[in-house]
Chain A
Amino acid sequence: MRTLQGLFLVARHAFAGVLKGRRAVALLLLAALPVGLAFLQVRFANIVTASNFMAVVLLGYFQVVVPFAGLFLGVSVLGDEIEGRTVSYLFTRPVPRWAIYLGRLVGSLAGFSLVFAGSVVLCTALYRGRAVVRWVEAGAAVGSGLLGLLAYGSIFAALRIVLERALFIGFLMGAIVEGAISKMPVSGLSKCSIWHHMALLQTRTTRVAHPKLREFLQGLGPEETVEGSLWVLAGIILVAIKAGVWLVRTREIRVPAAVA
């Protein structure tokens, strides 16, 4: 009971902390980026179609916002408490470390999700003024994006327990795995990326045709289904969370020395 209460309290504390500090500014700017693009397009382009919205989802949200937000989310899970040297207060309470870790992951994810969902809703609302964009497409974008956010977030959160420079290394990792490797013309390699599965979920559940989307759909094998991608993302999330829990239980977490 004490563990559950602790987890809930820590989650609430982490949720409240999402929109504070410099990282919050970066997150809000990141979330505002696709909204800004959507605004410019809706305001100045002659023709605006639903496929423009899909391009923003696939290229803006899934390729930029979600990975970077996931990176910020992941490194802040324990990173904020370690760098702020407040982790001592939490780790000397009768709440297991894994519960503190999970609480912070859940709370941070909830905060980031709100920002992400708000941004997608705003973007959808802008496009709906000029083109036929259904809320179901926005819903698919939010759902796929949140799964991606949790996947990235839990990977980078686990990484932060091991590495002090997780932000930098996470950025490199994201660029290499999600960017370079997944684009290599080698059969099956693209399935290694989280982007691939987010995009599959989005394209398979909406009817909007975009050149990028059509190209993507043509490259999919018949075995690549929504269920399959859901399983892959769920697997990534579960393994990453389990790894994080194991690391936080077994690995010593040191508070950095004060800067004089």
Chain B
Amino acid sequence: MIARFRHVAKWYGAVIGLVDADVEIGPGVTGLLGPNGAGKSTFLKLLTGQLRPSQGEVRLLGANPYTTAAVHGRIGFAPEPDAFYEDWTGRAFVTFLVRLHGFGRAEAARRADEALDAVGLSDVAGRKIRTYSKGMRQRVKIAQALAHDPEVLVLDEPLTGMDPLWRRRLMDLLKKLGARGVTVIVSSHILHEVEAMTDTFILLFQGRVRASGSRGEIRAFLSDVPHRIRVGTPRPKDLARALLDLPGTLAVRLDDEGVSVETTAPDTLFDTLPALVLDRELPVTELREADTDLDAIFGYLVG
């Protein structure tokens, strides 16, 4: 396990930042999802040792990140605030921060150039950061987090303000890093962005971890919420009639291309459906769970 939150709470005076977070984070890409104010930044600051838990314990790579400076050598962090040493060039900024990891001047400069190149800023590396666009500034933040080859990469809302092209490229880069064995923890309030990068999530709402795990695991966990299953067929009326007789079926909605079933017993439906369509000689063009997308799961979780 790369990181572990054990019943962690964080209060800012009377304001609640995080309540009883008890989650584990493993290798690969993990999406930290939640609307603004859900506690994502607090979660990431606790994870990277910038904040101390009011209660509970945070472990990162086996150490307490708040008290163990050495563990920071193995992580890269891109904060959410749009804050820089504005009069510095992108290259100087990244080189300075890489040097704090103990690298010599030449090695740090080489790593900074590589990281800036990876985020497409080679051409403007010699320009002052104050002249950068919002998207470029986001990419500098990512470059400084990447440049020392961290084992754990923690990015707080990294895609905010990026143009669609770089949004896509960065998502690909993070996926590649995840596949290479880097643990990437990326926060966002935009579901489809995170969904495009990973299948493993931590869902936060009002300071509470509402769910964590893979999409399927989280959906399965919501056993009391009816599942929506989409079955495509050119004969929706016949299929609907057959599905209504199945135990657990709550509702069937028809359209020209098929039916959407709401059921409390999805396993029964999947088990029975092959025999049912064969008996009635119903052609099936599509079969999928329609509410395992994050939007739907999130909707269920936060009401």
Contact of B48 with A by CB under 8 A: yes
Select the stretch in B25-33, B97-105, B206-214, B277-285 that faces chain A. B97-105
C-alpha gap A85/B49 in the complex (Å)? 16
Contact of B96 with A by CB under 8 A: yes
Task: Say yes or no: B72 contacts A94, CB within 8 Å.
Answer: yes
C-alpha gap A1/B99 in the complex (Å)? 12
Query: What is the CB-to-nearest-CB distance from A25 to chain B, in angstroms, rounded to a whole number?
Result: 15
Contact of A88 with B by CB under 8 A: yes
Task: Say yes or no: A88 contacts B102, CB within 8 Å.
Answer: no
Residues of B within 8 A of A94 (CB): 69-73, 100-102
Nearest B-chain residue to A21, judged by Cβ: B87
Contact of B221 with A by CB under 8 A: no
Query: What is the CB-to-nearest-CB distance from B149 to chain A, in angstroms, rounded to a whole number?
Result: 13
Nearest A-chain residue to B72, judged by Cβ: A94
Task: Say yes or no: A95 contacts B69, CB within 8 Å.
Answer: yes
Select the stretch in B78-86, B114-122, B226-234, B294-302 that faces chain A. B78-86
Task: Say yes or no: B77 contacts A2, CB within 8 Å.
Answer: no
Nearest B-chain residue to A249, judged by Cβ: B67
Residues of A within 8 A of B72 (CB): 92-95
Nearest A-chain residue to B104, judged by Cβ: A5
Task: Say yes or no: A88 contacts B100, CB within 8 Å.
Answer: no
Task: Say yes or no: B77 contacts A92, CB within 8 Å.
Answer: yes
Task: Say yes or no: B81 contacts A85, CB within 8 Å.
Answer: yes
Task: Say yes or no: B102 contacts A91, CB within 8 Å.
Answer: no
Contact of B223 with A by CB under 8 A: no
Q: What are the interface flags for A101-124 relative to B under an 8 Å C-beta threshold, 1 for contact and 0 otherwise?
A: 000000000000000000000000
Select the stretch in A30-38, A169-177, A251-259 that faces chain B. A251-259
Q: Which of A1, A84, A95 contacts B83 (CB 8 A)?
A: A84
Contact of A96 with B by CB under 8 A: yes
Contact of A97 with B by CB under 8 A: yes
Task: Say yes or no: B101 contacts A258, CB within 8 Å.
Answer: no
Query: What is the CB-to-nearest-CB distance from A138 to chain B, in angstroms, rounded to a whole number?
Result: 34
C-alpha gap A254/B81 in the complex (Å)? 13
Q: Which of B12, B48, B52, B81 contacts A92 (CB 8 A)?
A: B48
Residues of B153-174 at the interface with A, using a CB-CB cut-off of 8 Å, are none
Residues of B within 8 A of A9 (CB): 96, 99-100
Q: What are the interface flags for A231-257 relative to B under an 8 Å C-beta threshold, 1 for contact and 0 otherwise?
A: 000000000000000000000111100
Task: Say yes or no: A89 contacts B79, CB within 8 Å.
Answer: yes
Contact of B50 with A by CB under 8 A: yes
Nearest B-chain residue to A88, judged by Cβ: B79
C-alpha gap A92/B75 in the complex (Å)? 8
Contact of B244 with A by CB under 8 A: no
Contact of B179 with A by CB under 8 A: no
Q: What are the interface flags for B19-46 relative to A under an 8 Å C-beta threshold, 1 for contact and 0 otherwise?
A: 0000000000000000000000000010
Number of interface residues of B (CB under 8 A): 28
Query: What is the CB-to-nearest-CB distance from B12 to chain A, in angstroms, rounded to a whole number?
Result: 8
Chain A interface bracket (under 10, 10 to 19, 20 to 34, 35 or more): 20 to 34
Task: Say yes or no: B69 contacts A97, CB within 8 Å.
Answer: yes
Query: What is the CB-to-nearest-CB distance from A128 to chain B, in angstroms, rounded to a whole number?
Result: 37
Given A20-B87, A86-B84, A252-B52, residue A95 in contact with residue B100 (CB < 8 A): yes
- Indicate the member of A6, A17, A91 with the most B CB atoms within 10 Å: A91
Given A1-B102, A5-B102, A252-B51, residue A93 in contact with residue B81 (CB < 8 A): no
Task: Say yes or no: A86 contacts B97, CB within 8 Å.
Answer: no
Q: What are the interface flags for A4-37 relative to B under an 8 Å C-beta threshold, 1 for contact and 0 otherwise?
A: 0110011001000100100000000000000000
C-alpha gap A90/B101 in the complex (Å)? 10
Contact of B144 with A by CB under 8 A: yes
Residues of A within 8 A of B100 (CB): 5-6, 9-10, 90, 93-95
Given A92-B75, A94-B69, A94-B70, residue A85 in contact with residue B102 (CB < 8 A): no
Residues of B within 8 A of A88 (CB): 45, 50, 77, 79, 81, 83
Residues of B within 8 A of A10 (CB): 100
Task: Say yes or no: B51 contacts A254, CB within 8 Å.
Answer: yes
Q: Which of A2, A95, A255 contacts B81 (CB 8 A)?
A: A255
C-alpha gap A1/B101 in the complex (Å)? 10
Residues of A within 8 A of B144 (CB): 89
**Contact residues of B with A, CB < 8 Å?**
12, 45, 48-52, 69-73, 75, 77, 79, 81-85, 87, 96-97, 99-102, 144
**Which 4 A-B residue pairs are closest in the complex by CB-CB distance?**
A94-B73, A85-B83, A2-B102, A93-B100
Complex A-B: 11 CB contacts under 8 Å: A2-B73, A9-B100, A85-B79, A85-B81, A86-B83, A88-B77, A91-B49, A94-B101, A94-B102, A95-B72, A255-B50
18 extra A-B contacts, CB within 8 A, seeds A1-B102, A93-B97, A95-B72: A5-B102, A84-B83, A84-B85, A88-B50, A88-B79, A88-B83, A89-B79, A90-B100, A91-B50, A93-B73, A93-B100, A94-B69, A94-B73, A94-B101, A96-B69, A252-B51, A255-B50, A258-B81
